[in-house]
Amino acid sequence: MTDTQFQPDSGNTRAYSGKAITIDDIEAAAVRIGSEVLATPLLRNPVLDERTGARVFVKAENLQRSGSFKFRGAFNCLNLIPEEARARGVVACSSGNHAQGVAASAQLLGMPATIVMPADAPLIKLERTRGYGARVVTYDRETEDRDAIAAALCAQSGATLVHPYNDPAVIAGQGTVGLEMVAQAAAFGVEFDHVLACTGGGGLSSGIALALASRSPAALFHTCEPERFDDYKRSLEAGTLLSNAAKSGSVCDALMAETPGEIGFSILRRLAGEGVTVSDDEVLDAVAFAFTELKLVVEPGGAAALAAVLSGKLSFAGSTVGLVLTGGNIDPRMMEKVLSR
């Protein structure tokens, strides 16, 4: 796939050409974003290994610029917007991490950004998005349609819509996480048997799965989702797109996408293994484990993969496992709740 496939549709959205995303797109993204994206560490912890009976390597994307992996896909996507369209800016929908990734990328590239965010998003995510210079438009996730709001904003200004996961440029950018993980594991002299990532709309998960298929084909990828928001696990098992009945009600605010993205689903239905669903309690325990044992600050939605490994719902004993901590933008009040458990 070449850059010409990432073209605006009618001046304000990004169209998917239908052509397959390949490892070439992920490698091109790695070059394109390399000057600004942090190569986050791949960490190993003896307590985690002892708890699981596996060799576990933790990819700390909570240390990424803007506090999550979302910066990778956003910066790749915005870099592909034609110069003549940049002055009209970008619009994005997000509960917080994509919001910050797009806002930070737009600030770097000198582009105006408007972000549609749920009114009940963590305060720290709302404040940090505004802190990057973006305009924030809030909505009620129970009664209002964020996509309709974003479409209206694009129609008014001619801005480009940057979808949080159903965009090939975003998926390619997120896939650079997988490239880094494989290279870093090789530096340790190991290859992954399993890789897990927190899964919302599937942009990160599908990008990592593509990278693994090319660079570490023996590794099996697993989606990790919160209870009641396991649309990916159910969709992959059914072989068709399914939605969540609930729109809110999980501590994992970053993982409450209603339905899998079509592009990511088309990739993961070929490349993903068994998915894992975790409870709020298991997620909060994982946040506490990350803080006390790994010395890392992780938000609930960023800890689902760690929760999946710690829960033992899939046995990884004797295996080499990679997991991604996807974000660290936790509200201080939530951290107080976690540490008081």
The CA–CA distances, whole Å, from 79 to 28, 29, 270 equal 12, 10, 29
What is the architecture, at CATH level 2, of domain 22-31+39-69+174-339? 3-Layer(aba) Sandwich (3.40)
For residues 122 and 232, the model is more confident at 232
Instruction: Give the separation between CA 229 and CA 232, rounded to whole angstroms.
Output: 8
Kindly indicate the confidence band of residue 248, based on its pLDDT and cuts at 50, 70 and 90: confident
List pLDDT tens digits, range 51-80. Answer: 999 999 999 999 999 999 999 999 999 999
List pLDDT tens digits, range 111-149. Answer: 999 999 999 988 899 999 999 999 999 999 889 999 999
Kindly indicate the confidence band of residue 319, based on its pLDDT and cuts at 50, 70 and 90: very high
Mean pLDDT of 77-87: 97
CATH top-level class of 71-161: alpha beta
CATH 3.40.50.1100 domain locations along the chain: 22-31+39-69+174-339, 71-161
> In 10 A of CB 244, how many CB atoms?
19
Instruction: Give the separation between CA 197 and CA 301, rounded to whole angstroms.
Output: 10
The CA–CA distances, whole Å, from 150 to 116, 158, 169, 266 equal 7, 11, 19, 25
List pLDDT tens digits, range 8-19. Answer: 333 333 444 456
Asked whether the beta carbons of 324 and 196 are under 8 A apart, the reply is yes
Asked whether the beta carbons of 256 and 200 are under 8 A apart, the reply is yes
Q: What does residue 114 show for φ and ψ, rounded to 5 degrees?
A: -120, 130
Among 9-18, 35-44, 98-107, 235-244, where is mean pLDDT lowest? 9-18
pLDDT of residue 20: 83
Asked whether the beta carbons of 190 and 198 are under 8 A apart, the reply is no
pLDDT of residue 18: 52
Instruction: Give the separation between CA 251 and CA 143, rounded to whole angstroms.
Output: 20
